[in-house]
């Protein structure tokens, strides 16, 4: 059993698996899931371990999250899926996709890199540094999150604050970032393109954590991809521009087998 809480909408034969980013939860997909269901898709969105309503369960490493996602996919018999990803969900979801090519029918990639030569942003570097990361986690408050992400609604911040409820969850955050060595992606170079599935790249033009140049790089490396850069939106593009991101996905669905 994966032990992951999840949201689900729709009952179509085609399945979309939505993997959230940091420090979010399945709540971030609340605008997109009804659209997918209305288009005849079954939309399934887990809370990664230690986020949302999922408990901390064992190590918080990148590899452990990939393994849990594989377990969730098998447990719920999802078959071939349209994989929708954001931020850390890109790093987790695309590793799973490359290792399970037969289970992927399409990709939506947003605001997260999958490149071995990528470098972490400043906040991540603090989290990856012994002692400094612990001090950061210890000092975080709901107000800190609100100030760092002013585009988020109060309801969204309430949901995402669940990820910081207790020392175990905060410790798992540090495990995640400290396991995030990008050289681990060297064996995956070229493998996204080898999946041979249609892809949509959605990005906030003002993303301060994941440069929009990465969106163009995905587009260049994936021959069957569409690119949608959302002006006036930042890193939390699904929160900041739900109508525009929804239109981009709706238009893309016709290309997914």
Extract the tokens encoding 221: 């490396």
Judge contact between 109 and 85, C-beta under 8 A.
yes
The 3-state DSSP class for residue 107 equals strand
Percent of all residues in the chain with a pLDDT value above 70, rounded to a whole number: 99
d(CA 40, CA 62): 32
Bond into 23 cis (ω within 30): yes
Average pLDDT over residues 93-114: 98
pLDDT computed for residue 110 by the predictor: 98
Average pLDDT over residues 74-86: 98
Judge contact between 30 and 245, C-beta under 8 A.
no
Judge contact between 113 and 210, C-beta under 8 A.
yes
Question: pLDDT of 240-250, one tens digit each?
Answer: 999 999 999 99
Measured from the Cβ of residue 245, the count of other Cβ atoms closer than 10 Å reads: 25
* Strand ranges (E), 98-219: 104-110, 199-204
Measured from the Cβ of residue 138, the count of other Cβ atoms closer than 10 Å reads: 9
What the chain holds in terms of domains, given with CATH numbers, is 6-253 (3.40.50.1820)
pLDDT computed for residue 149 by the predictor: 86
pLDDT surpasses 70 at 131: yes
d(CA 218, CA 215): 5
């Amino acid at each position: 059993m994966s032990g992951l809480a999840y949201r689900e909408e729709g009952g179509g034969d085609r399945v979309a698996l939505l993997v959230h980013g940091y420090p979010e939860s399945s709540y971030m997909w609340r605008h997109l899931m009804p659209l997918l269901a209305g288009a005849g898709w079954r939309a399934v969105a887990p809370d990664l371990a230690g986020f949302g309503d999922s408990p901390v369960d064992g190590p918080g490493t990148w590899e452990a999250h990939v393994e849990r996602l594989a377990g969730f996919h098998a447990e719920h018999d999802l078959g071939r899926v349209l994989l929708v990803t954001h931020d850390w969900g890109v790093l987790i979801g695309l590793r799973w996709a490359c290792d399970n090519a037969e289970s992927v029918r399409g990709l939506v990639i947003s605001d997260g890199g999958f490149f071995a030569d990528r470098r972490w942003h400043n906040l991540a570097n603090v989290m990856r540094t012994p002692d400094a990361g612990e001090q950061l986690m210890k000092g975080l408050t709901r107000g800190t999150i609100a100030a760092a992400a002013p585009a988020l609604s109060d309801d969204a911040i309430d949901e995402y604050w669940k990820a910081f409820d207790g020392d175990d969850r905060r410790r798992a955050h540090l495990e995640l970032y400290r396991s995030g060595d990008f050289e681990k992606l060297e064996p995956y170079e070229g493998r996204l393109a080898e999946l041979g599935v249609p892809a949509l790249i959605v990005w906030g033009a003002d993303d301060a954590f994941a440069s929009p140049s990465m969106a163009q790089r995905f587009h260049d490396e994936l021959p069957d991809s569409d690119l949608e850069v959302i002006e006036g939106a930042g890193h939390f593009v699904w929160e900041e521009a739900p109508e525009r991101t929804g239109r981009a996905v709706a238009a893309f669905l016709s290309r997914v087998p």
